[in-house]
Structure 1
Amino acid sequence: MKITIAAIGRAGRGPERDLYDHYASRIRWPLVLRELEEKRKLPAAELMRREGELLLAAAPRAAVLVALDRRGRQMDSEAFARRLGRWRDESVSDVAFLIGGADGHAEALLEKASLVLSFGAMTWPHQLARAMLAEQIYRSQQLLAGHPYHRA
């Protein structure tokens, strides 16, 4: 199973990127980070639509789409691991996690997602969301392997 994280915005150097890199380097599934941005100044609704197009275009064809959005479903780490494990066991070839811009995702993108996932009701900086996602993917990998990391 290959994993793509498609995110609006470019991460520079800094502690959030270092944290992402720390966990991403430990993930055994092939992992790709695609950073995207719309440079034109557009009204919010049009910008969200355009960012959605960019994110969908960055996802591998036929990938299972997971949109990160505050309105999504909250899962504990064990449930998230079970979901990844089920996709792995069902021979899903690609999973794409989509992280939107400052205004979030347009409804059209959310409707295409197999899972809309929330890290909670609070809004998280998008750079930190990438690191949190990488950590949870790594934690899932360890949990599925029966490693005690998930108890840490």
Structure 2
Amino acid sequence: MLSVKLICVGKLGEKFWADAVREYEKRLSAYCKLEIAELPEQRLPQTPSAGEIAAALAKESAAIRAKIPQGASVIALCVEGKTLSSEAFADKLGTMAAHGVSRLCLLIGGSCGLDEALKQDAALRLSMSPMTFPHHLARVMVLEQLYRALNILAGGKYHK
């Protein structure tokens, strides 16, 4: 069974986000072993300098790297990443599985995104849209798309 780890910078705040995440955790249990790791977002001043942002991203990156499972294929979610349809995302996951990928790690940054070096090291940079979303919503969206993709690969009816 596919092992998926979702590493998120920032905590879920409101109950409705947590409820949505729990719903997709339940749905995904039929298709993969899912683990979600939440890491604290680095605190920044109200108007941070570029250097302060870079330092914060570097600290977050070190914490993220420490949580990436050995041998996992990494997908970094970032606005400048590749946009894929649900079917294309399913195809990508299917191709990865055909090439022996059994561990997948998806990364969602905090309000300042992900460190550039971390994104460059990823097997795939994935964008859900050219729009910017709060990381709480991005977490729900990526879990839904992961569920949809795995359901497509299994020949399920969710996508139809």
**Aligned residues, how many?**
151
Q: Which residue of 2 aligns with 1:9?
A: 10
Say whether 1:110 aligns with 2:100. Answer: no
Contact 1:63 1:93 in 2 (8 A): yes
Displacement of 1:76: 0.3
Q: Which amino acid letter does the alignment assign opposite residue 65 of structure 2?
A: L
Deviations 1:19-67 (A, max 9, x none): 1211121112000000001556581110011111111211101211110
CA–CA distance in 2 between the matches of 1:20 and 1:70?
Answer: 21
Rate the CA distance shift 1:10–1:57 in 2: closer, same or farther, 3 A.
same
Say whether 1:31 aligns with 2:34. Answer: yes
CA–CA distance in 1 between the matches of 2:137 and 2:74?
Answer: 20
Deviations 1:121-150 (A, max 9, x none): 111110111110110111011111111211
| Structure 2: gaps (5+ residues) | 46-51
TM-score, length of structure 2 as denominator length: 0.88
Contact 1:48 1:106 in 2 (8 A): yes
Contact 2:75 2:106 in 1 (8 A): yes
Alignment of 1:80-91 (within 5 A): 80-91=89-100
Say whether 1:101 aligns with 2:101. Answer: no
TM-score, length of structure 1 as denominator length: 0.93
Displacement of 1:5: 0.2
CA–CA distance in 2 between the matches of 1:140 and 1:38?
Answer: 29
CA–CA distance in 1 between the matches of 2:100 and 2:18?
Answer: 30
| Structure 1: gaps (5+ residues) | none
Q: Which residue of 2 aligns with 1:134?
A: 143
Contact 1:52 1:100 in 2 (8 A): no
Deviations 1:84-124 (A, max 9, x none): 11222222121100001111112111110010000111111
Larger CA deviation: 2-11 vs 140-149: 140-149
CA–CA distance in 1 between the matches of 2:25 and 2:145?
Answer: 10
Contact 1:3 1:96 in 2 (8 A): yes
